[in-house]
Amino acid sequence: MPLPQLKVRTYPDPCLRRKSQKVKAVGPGERLLIQSMITAMYAHKGVGLAAPQVGINQQIFVADIGQGPMAVINPQVVEQHGSTVLEEGCLSIPGVTVKIKRPKKILVKYMDEENTIVQREFSDLMARVFLHESDHLFGKLIVDYVGLRQKKEVQKHLKMLEDIQKNPQESSSQNISNSKKASEKNANA
């Protein structure tokens, strides 16, 4: 069966703000979704992609920071330690990057695609991707972490994305190409 082509939703799509439902069990439908999400993540050169980003409000995300793809279902953070600050981008908010302070190390619990409950420790980039994607499952976006200094600039950009969504033809191609350039610099999830 060919994989369904998934479209990555961008701000202000309402799917991105909805809380996602817990998955009872992973079956053929969920596995097909996971495979399609991995394909979409690679197509967009992302390091992570959460189901709400493709319009499905279920607690599923995929990630690959260069060690092969993994699927995470119903994630839970059990413990967190230390903190680091890094600039993050998001495939759903092209052109915006935000410096975010997150724990350096986390202990997490989740279900894998074989319905096995896994407990694992992640640090640095993988911890960051895990938390970024988990945020998506609760309707939280990188722009929610913006500090006062960056607020005006980010609001202006979000307004531009809202206008693009409302009026795809009339938006200037200049703005969109700038957004692309900005998002290529960083690891997007």
Residues annotated catalytic, as ranges: 133
CB of 36 to Zn ion, least distance (A): 17
Length of the chain measured in residues: 189
- The nearest distance, CB 62 to Zn ion, in angstroms, is 12
Residues that bind Zn ion in the complex, under the rule CB under 5 A: 90, 189
Minimal CB distance residue for Zn ion: 90
CB atoms within 10 A of CB 60: 29
Please state, in angstroms and rounded to a whole number, the distance separating the CA atoms of residues 46 and 6.
14
CB of 53 to Zn ion, least distance (A): 6
Contacts for 163 with CB less than 8 Å, ≥ 6 apart: 171
Closer to Zn ion by CB, 34 or 189: give it: 189
Angle CA 109–36–55, to nearest 5: 80
Q: DSSP alpha helices (H): ranges in the chain?
A: 28-43, 124-137, 148-166, 173-184
Nearest to Zn ion of 81, 101 (CB atom): 101
Nearer to Zn ion, 90 or 100 (CB): 90
